[in-house]
Amino acid sequence: MKKRSILLITNIILFMCIASAQNSIILRTSEAKDTISKNIYGHFAEHLGRCVYDGLYVGDNKKIPNKNGIRTDIVEALKKLKVGVLRWPGGCFADGYHWMDGIGPKAQRKHTENVAWGNVRENNAFGTHEFLELCDMIKAEPYLALNMGSGTVQESSDWVKYVNHANSSSYLTDMRAKNGRSKPWNVKYWGVGNESWDCGGNMTASQYVSEYRKYATHITNYGNSENLFRIAVGPGSEDYNWTETVMRDIPSKLIEGLSVHHYSVINWSAKGSATLFPEQEYFRTMEQAWRMERFITKNSEIMDKYDPKKKVALIVDEWGGWYEVEPGTNKNFLYQQNTMRDAMIAGLSLNIFHNHADRVRMANLAQIVNVLQAVILTKEEKLILTPTYHVMEMYNVHQDAVMIPVTVTSEDYVMGDKKLQAVSASASKDKNGITHVSLVNIHSTKEQTITINLGNSGAKSVTGRILSSSNIQDHNTFDKPNTVVPASFNKATLNGNELKISLPPFSVVVLELK
């Protein structure tokens, strides 16, 4: 009798352990109200390494198809990605950039030095007109960063007038017409400074607020409002005092957005290889990627104190993985490969942004081509799409759809005395009534079986796509460009309002429910 009791208790404990470890997701469909902005699928292009020159822009290179110097195969790839917004010209480069150096006949443009990134020669062939033409080609909203670091209020005000004011308003619009553009571009998004706590001036929060108030006032034309969306600099670390100061001391009439920066870096002094990393480094990278959840939550809580109606957007205008540069490349050019680890960062981060759609209304991956966690890498006339590209292409079905809140119960990914939530998820319903569910399993070795309660979605069928590979270090190369590509996914079973799915290790899946 005693043995039977012990066995019964043991079985109960075992059952409870198994039950508690099961993965489950509940779609709270009745609570869906916030729209996932397409601008969460934004990107960042800085004059850094080979992002602009030899990346987006090839000038008069006859071997590479281009339109006015802008590389057309990149344009086609970015159109498929449905880029929401593109931020330019920086980054730290913006705080040394004077926009008038980049307009007019290219042969007459001033050559300058890029002191932010390697002291290389900047010929300013890619300037305001070229950037805005690129945005038009890929159908992305432009986001211009003003030079608060070494520029002036007048310079910034003049740039807004040059870009946005009606023809014949002033000598600035006459100059724009002379340079080939008679009608205004009507650029909405303007960043007032960049990383002002570091390369943008090493300011205190109160110093920045004082400068911001001047810039935000003078770039606005009160007589003919352009409806500017002015984005203030927020913190790049968990310095919540900075957020508090900005939200408290900038009048609500002068601010529409607050930017934050977060990179998934394991150690700033020893970032590790982009491709030759052990599981311990992978785990630490995922730990930093998951930190985005806390970072957004804490900043949102402070913003809610001063802006309970959520009029000010939280803008994550730099995010992604950051490793040591590829061997044999310039350390100042930040060129790195892109593996399945980066796909995990992308899927996890986008899920977080979706689930905070009430406050997060723009995010810009750093950076778009040939720099950091790029979606595209180029080598002369060759081009490859990275795992990150494929995640963002798979996920863009969520753009402008209504976010469905989710409750996730997940097994842990454990290493030593640390553990991380293995499964991440987000969901939305588009204007056609189609529900999409995005899932990430960051666990490096274990498949996750997940039960999804679909609520009252009324789904009758399920299809899916998956991004996975044999090794977490797998990546696409110029010799093997299709090592990591999306494939059809058929490990999902629908039974009434319940869906069961098996998610392989380090994989990303997007399901479509009709």
Catalytic: 318? Answer: yes
Phi, psi for 326 (deg, rounded to 5): -65, 140
Catalytic: 281? Answer: no
Secondary structure (H, E, C), 413-454: EEECCEEEECEEEEEEECCCCCEEEEEEECCCCCCEEEEEEC
The continuous run of DSSP H or E covering 266 comes out as none
Helices and strands: H and E segment counts in the chain: 10, 27
Q: What does DSSP say about strands 229-233 and 189-192: parallel, antiparallel, or unpaired?
A: parallel
Residue 362 near residue 40, CB atoms below 8 Å: yes
Q: Residues 6 or more apart from 462 whose CB is under 8 A from it?
A: 492, 494, 499, 511, 512, 513
- In angstroms, the CA 177 to CA 275 distance is 48
Which among 122, 130, 141, 195 is annotated as catalytic?
195
Q: Which two tokens stand for residue 353?
A: 């942004």
CA–CA distance from 106 to each of 90, 261, 331 (Å)? 21, 33, 29
- In angstroms, the CA 234 to CA 194 distance is 9
Nearest-5° angle of CA 81, CA 83, CA 86? 145
Phi, psi for 378 (deg, rounded to 5): -125, 155
CA–CA distance from 491 to each of 41, 193, 296, 463, 500 (Å)? 27, 47, 33, 9, 8
- In angstroms, the CA 393 to CA 408 distance is 24
- In angstroms, the CA 415 to CA 297 distance is 25
The continuous run of DSSP H or E covering 501 comes out as strand 498-503
Q: Which two tokens stand for residue 212?
A: 């911001």
| Per-position b or e across 408-421, b if 16+ CB within 10 A of its CB | bebbebebeeeebb
Which among 122, 141, 318, 411 is annotated as catalytic?
318
Q: Which two tokens stand for residue 233?
A: 């600099």
Three-state DSSP at 122 gives strand
Residue 184 near residue 163, CB atoms below 8 Å: yes
- In angstroms, the CA 399 to CA 384 distance is 24
Q: Which two tokens stand for residue 231?
A: 């984005």
Catalytic residues: 195, 318
